Amino acid sequence: MKQVAVVTDSVACVPSDLTTRYGIHVIPVRITVGGKVYRDTCDDLPPLLVRSFQETPMIDTTPWPPEHYFRAYEEVSRTAREIVHIVAFSQFTSTISLARAGAVMAQEAVPGLRVVVFDSASTTMAQGFIALEAARTAARGRGIADVVLAAERIRHRVDGVFAFDTLRHLARTGRVNRLASWAGSLLNVMPVVGLSQGRERPLALTRSRLQATRKMLDMVCRGVEPKQPVHVAVVESGRRDEAEELLLTIQERLHPVESMAVRVSPVTQVVAGPGLLGVVFYADD
């Protein structure tokens, strides 16, 4: 039995080869459309359905109830006595409070179980990098306190910058009204948005995808000191070729110690829309 198991949400978008390698347990988030609940999996949300839901005017991203997290923790407890769940940012979702309620239920039901629900203050691969570092620390046999400290260290370092064709898809959640108002003030613009430490920040309104990509590249290069070991993930929704080209440019300029191109999860594709392209990164000491 492992000492510490790491759990995260599907919107962290950690590639499956890494979740397998480090034993990360992934809980698919849910989305409700037309009164029907869908899990954040390719089986529930194949590409044709994702494209349809991207244009659906009303979507509901309310998280699972506490009982769902209780059952997940109970299952994980069969292989570990301590659990750290890296969840998406509490500023935009109630997942953390519901998961913590589920953790209380699990700890009451399973003698000796300890569950820490950790607010990543982020999503996509920013949340994913936090989960990865936590899992790597757990894989070295460290205790739950060290696993949480590792997660905190990356949370304070990781940053993300994202370019959207439009924010109208994201605006359906009702959680980015300030950004939607900012980007909606002009026509035919592509907003570039930063996200770190649980805060979204408007960065630029660009006139083309090329301008948006250059802005993101500039932000990443300015956010890293020369010769710092850098971890980078380029995330995308329907922009695979651009993501791979951007990743290649970053690799040539920064020589990251870890780099990957990642398609975001189906629910993230629905919420963000088809034109998402972003860079998530952090530097080691």
Span 125-137, pLDDT tens digits: 999 999 999 999 9
Place of tokens 């510490």: 4
* Spatial separation of the C-alpha atoms in residues 232 and 159, rounded to whole Å: 10
pLDDT tier at 180, thresholds 50, 70, 90: low
User: What phi, psi does 140 have (nearest 5°)?
Assistant: -85, 5
In the prediction, which pLDDT does 186 show?
A: 47
* Spatial separation of the C-alpha atoms in residues 70 and 110, rounded to whole Å: 10
Query: Mean pLDDT, the chain, as a whole number?
Result: 91
* Spatial separation of the C-alpha atoms in residues 50 and 95, rounded to whole Å: 22
* Spatial separation of the C-alpha atoms in residues 237 and 51, rounded to whole Å: 11
State the distance between the two ends of the chain, measured CA to CA, in whole angstroms.
32
Span 207-227, pLDDT tens digits: 888 899 999 999 999 988 888
- Number of residues that this document lists for the chain: 285
Best mean pLDDT range from 153-157, 173-177, 188-192, 221-225: 153-157
pLDDT of 175 over the 70 cut: no
- Cα distances (Å, whole numbers) of residue 81 to 24, 156, 157: 15, 27, 29
Q: What is the 3-state secondary structure (H, E, C) of 46-110?
A: CHHHHHHHHCCCCCECCCCCHHHHHHHHHHHCCCEEEEEEEECCCCCCCHHHHHHHHHHHHHHHC
Which three-class secondary structure state does DSSP give residue 20? Answer: helix
Span 70-97, pLDDT tens digits: 999 999 999 999 999 999 987 667 899 9
Close Cβ partners of 199 (under 8 Å, ≥ 6 residues apart) = 91
Of 206, 4, 12, the residue nearest 114 (C-alpha) = 4
User: What phi, psi does 26 have (nearest 5°)?
Assistant: -110, 125
Mean of pLDDT values over 256-272: 96
**Is residue 230 a contact partner of residue 203, using CB atoms and an 8 Å limit?**
no
Please give the domain boundaries of the chain with CATH numbers for all domains.
Answer: 2-29+64-155 (3.40.50.10170), 159-283 (3.30.1180.10)
* Spatial separation of the C-alpha atoms in residues 188 and 140, rounded to whole Å: 50
Burial letters for 238-255: b for 16+ Cβ neighbours within 10 Å, e otherwise? bbeebbeebbebbeeebe
Burial letters for 172-207: b for 16+ Cβ neighbours within 10 Å, e otherwise? beebbeebbebbeeeeebbbbbbbbeeebeebbbbe
